Amino acid sequence: MFRAESLVRWFAPAAPPPSHWRKYVDGRARDYSPSVCRQITGGHDHAPVRAHPSTLGRRDHALPSWQNGDQTITRVTKSEVTVGIEALTHRDDGSPHDPTLEGWDEWVSASSTRNYALNDPILDWLDLYGEAKGYLPDHALPGYDPRTDFREFLFAQGREFEARVIAHLRRETEVRTITDDHLQTRTREAAEATFAAMHEGVPAIYQGVLWDAEHGAFGAPDLLVRADVLERWFPGTLDHKAIKVVAPDLDGAWHYRVVDVKFSGLHLNAAGTDLTNGGSMPAYKTQLFLYNRALGRIQGYEPPATHLIGRSWQRTQRGVDYRSDSALDIAATVPQSGETARGVATASPATGALHWVRRLRAEGATWRATPEPSTRELYPDAGNAQDAPWHAVKRQIAHEIEELTLLWQVGVDKREQGHAAGIRRWTDPRLRPEDVGIKPTSAYHAPLTALIEINRTTDGPPVRRGHGTDPETWRPVPPLEFFADFETFGDLRDHFTTFPVRGGQTLIFMIGCGHVEDGQWNFRCFVADAETEEAEARMIDAWLDHMEAVRQRLAPDLAAGQATARVTHWSRAEPVTFETAYNAAKARHPEKGWPSPNWFDFLDVMRKEPVVIRGAMGFGLKAVARALHDHGLIETVWGDGPTDGLGAMMGGWWCYDEAVRSGVPVTSLDLMKQIVEYNEVDCRSMWEVVRAVRGLE
471-694 — its CATH code? 3.30.420.10
Range 599-624 average pLDDT = 96
1-42 pLDDT, tens digit each: 333 333 333 333 333 333 332 232 333 333 323 332 333 333
DSSP 281-344: HHHHHHHHHHHHHHHHHHHS---SEEEEE-SEEEEEETTEEEEE-BTTS--EEEETT-EEETTE
Q: Give the SS3 label for residue 141.
A: coil
How many percent of the chain have pLDDT more than 70? 86
Range 547-556 average pLDDT = 93
Burial class, 382, CB count within 10 angstroms (exposed 0-12 / middle 13-18 / buried 19+): buried
Confidence category of residue 76, pLDDT binned at 50, 70, 90: low
| Better-scored residue on pLDDT, 3 or 292 | 292
Q: What is the pLDDT of residue 19?
A: 31
- Residue (of 212, 217, 176, 252) closest to 85 by Cα position: 212
Confidence category of residue 66, pLDDT binned at 50, 70, 90: very low
306-318 pLDDT, tens digit each: 999 999 999 999 9
Q: What is the pLDDT of residue 637?
A: 87
Find which of 8-12, 56-60, 150-154 is predicted with most confidence, using mean pLDDT. 150-154
Summary mean pLDDT of the chain: 88
Q: What is the pLDDT of residue 82?
A: 67
pLDDT surpassing 60 at residue 61: no
Q: What is the C-alpha to C-alpha distance for residues 149 and 144, in angstroms, rounded to an integer?
A: 9
Range 412-426 average pLDDT = 98
Q: What is the pLDDT of residue 430?
A: 97
The answer to whether residues 291 and 245 touch, using CB atoms and an 8 Å cutoff, is: no
The residue ranges of every structural domain in the chain are 4-56, 108-354, 382-465, 471-694
Would you tell me the crossing angle of helices 670-694 and 621-630 to the nearest 10 degrees? Answer: 70
512-534 pLDDT, tens digit each: 999 999 999 999 999 999 999 99
The answer to whether residues 483 and 513 touch, using CB atoms and an 8 Å cutoff, is: yes
Inter-CA distances, 77 with 63, 81, 243, 371, Å? 6, 11, 16, 54
Q: What is the pLDDT of residue 641?
A: 62
DSSP tag of 204: E
List alpha helices for 188-280, DSSP H: 188-200, 227-233, 240-243
> Would the CA dihedral through 284, 289, 291, 295 be positive or negative?
positive
343-382 pLDDT, tens digit each: 999 999 999 999 999 999 999 999 999 999 999 999 999 9
Confidence category of residue 697, pLDDT binned at 50, 70, 90: confident
Q: What is the pLDDT of residue 595?
A: 87
How many percent of the chain have pLDDT more than 90? 81
Q: What is the pLDDT of residue 14?
A: 33
- Where is average pLDDT lowest: 221-225, 633-637, 662-666? 633-637
162-196 pLDDT, tens digit each: 999 999 999 999 999 999 988 999 999 999 999 99
- Where is average pLDDT lowest: 83-92, 414-423, 525-534, 653-662? 83-92
Tell me the pairing of strands 108-109 and 223-226.
unpaired
Q: What is the pLDDT of residue 212?
A: 98
| Better-scored residue on pLDDT, 468 or 572 | 468
pLDDT surpassing 80 at residue 479: yes
Range 228-254 average pLDDT = 97
CB atoms within 10 A of CB 547: 20
Q: What is the pLDDT of residue 563?
A: 58
pLDDT surpassing 50 at residue 475: yes
Q: What is the pLDDT of residue 638?
A: 83
